[in-house]
Structure 1
Amino acid sequence: MAQTFTFELVSPEKVLLSGEAEQVQLPGSEGDMTVLPGHSPLISTLRPGVVEVLLDGAKSSVFVRQAFAQVEPERVTILAEKAYDVRELTGGLLSEELAQAEADLAAAKDDAERLLANHAVETLSRFKA
């Protein structure tokens, strides 16, 4: 059996994913990272993007916005203001999130805000195609 660690992804509304993970790919604010069991501790903000998790033997993909991750050798916790299973990002929900990201981009006051909003627009636009 492969080594695992405890994984939780939570939003204000609910726990989206929870279980034993073999690996997690995170859209870190400074670049993508893959977390494996025994990873060094860290805390990172996450840019808008997709978290991919190999959880209980199945791959799950979740789009997150306004999130951060706490990584410990035996646990990864992601707290996200907004998080959606990629399979849910269709139709009206996708259009609504894309419109919000475009509005955030238009209203950005500095380069950091523009960069985050642009990441959200780019990632959401890929789902629309």
Structure 2
Amino acid sequence: MKTSPLTQTVLDEARRQVETCCREFTDPDVATVRDAVEGVQQLTGALGELVDRIRDHASFAFDDENQYVGEELVRDLHATRGCLTTAGLLVAPALDDLRELTGSAADLTSTTPELTGSAVELTGTTPRTAAR
């Protein structure tokens, strides 16, 4: 896959960090599980932002003859964004429970992710109503 050197460096580093987390996630306690789930939720949010950015600019990469490929890609990325939004919403109640179990008052705020723009359009709901 051809990417810019900066993009490739960032993606390679992200992959290395995820691989490191996977290797080190052995025999966890509840706080470690909470931290890992928080990381997953944050990562799905960040990936959602990246998907939005790609979707918003992808169609410009295709000439008129191949525009149909760009249009299909945009639809696929829209669906991908929906899956990432759903992932964040699915772990929010469990993360709230994990925060209660670990007893940190600062951590007891709701973890339901904020949805913006296309994510709200995609799900047709707000984070608070979707998590109920």
Pairwise same-fold verdict (TM > 0.5): no
Instruction: Please report the TM-score for the alignment, with normalisation by the length of structure 2.
Output: 0.29
Instruction: Please report the TM-score for the alignment, with normalisation by the length of structure 1.
Output: 0.29
Query: Between Structure 1 and Structure 2, whose CA radius of gyration is higher?
Result: 2
* Structure (1/2) with the larger helix percentage: 2
* Structure (1/2) with the larger strand percentage: 1
